[in-house]
Amino acid sequence: MKRVVVTGVGVYSPIGTSYTAVDESLRNRRSGIRYMPEFEALDGINSHVAGVVEGADPMRIARKYRRSMGRVAQLMALATMDAVADAGLDPDRLSDPRIGLSMGSTMGSGSALEEIFLQFAKERTVRGHKSTSFLQVMSHTCAANMALMFSIRGRIYAPCTACTSSSQAIGFAYEAIQAGYQDMMLAGGAEEMHWTSVATFDVMQGTSYNFNDRPHLASRPFDADRTGLVVADGSACVILEELERAKSRGTKIYGEIEAFHTNSDGYHMSSPSTDGMRACMEGALAAGGLSPKDIDYINAHATATPLGDRAEAGAIRAIFEDKTPVSSTKSYTGHTFGACGAIETVFSLAMINKGYLAPTLNLESVDPECEGIDHITDVRDVAPRRIMSNNFAFGGVNTSLVIKKYEG
């Protein structure tokens, strides 16, 4: 099996739009959650906070590509452009059939979808309807737009599995290179923050609402006072490359993808399964020939929903007991849904290369049902060698990635 390394990164998140910026935010405990005054006008919505990417300039994208992109694909394009440049690749020379692409999102552009259906439902007309509208809202808009923008001719994957979309995208890209089908993959995912996402989780009683006046405290995974998640947007792209190819290019290497596993709970559409989560983590360990003691840190999915955090804590406790440090970086960003796996991969690479572990912000009083694991509540100056990054989604979809420090 081929070894797979990361040779380029690009990230747009509520805590920064570069590898350096997110590293500084993680180290300095800087939250990206802010108050959203526009949510006050939405009848029945209790959560008035969100994590929003600031400073994303879509004008960097050539108009001929930008016109078929909603915000979600624009965020994906910006992260991909940065990752390609970071890896020292010529964006005009990525059409080699040995180079593929794997990018996911929960859905297409929420703002474009709202515009389309307001026109259809209120005016009952298609007059004035833009020919590019569907391209902005289709579920594989990120993958399709990036494949066009970078003239990709290799394999293309477009996972659309909610919160595991981009972690599956990275995992599938890793498997394609590991098995020898591709030499390089552009992998990641994006999500657009839109009020309909907030409304969806509000109706399900799954959003944070008790810290609207103090948004930096709103995202609090594992904490006894959490009420739910904070909706956020963002994107991230990592360039995955077969090790010998990367070495022949003399490019820098951020780290190595060592193992991946994905499975299904087969249990419930929205309720989390401790057994399914545990089986996924155990599957990743088995895929890498690893034992629990080989993992130095777990970047938990932990979105701050009462049931989800308890289920994940129980699964971690069953495998790792209290011997492996755990935190949730969603306490910084909120939940970026389809983008979270890719964003958290970049966060994990920063911690591996900079030698620290980021804490769970706002973890003031651990929920008794989330005890029994080693919660990180302040920055630890510990250099992790291996990180397990977990993501879990509606429909019982689970993923675990093992990311390793590159050691030659």
Contact 69, 77 (CB under 8 A): yes
Burial 341-363, CB ≥16 within 10 A → b, else e: bbbbbbbbbbbbbeebbbbbbbb
Which residue, chain included where needed, has tokens 């190819």? Answer: 245
Q: How far is CA 204 from CA 178, 219, 232, 273, 391, in A?
A: 40, 17, 17, 18, 20
In angstroms, rounded to a whole number, what is the distance separating the alpha carbons of residues 127 and 233?
A: 31
Catalytic residues, by residue number, are: 163, 301, 335
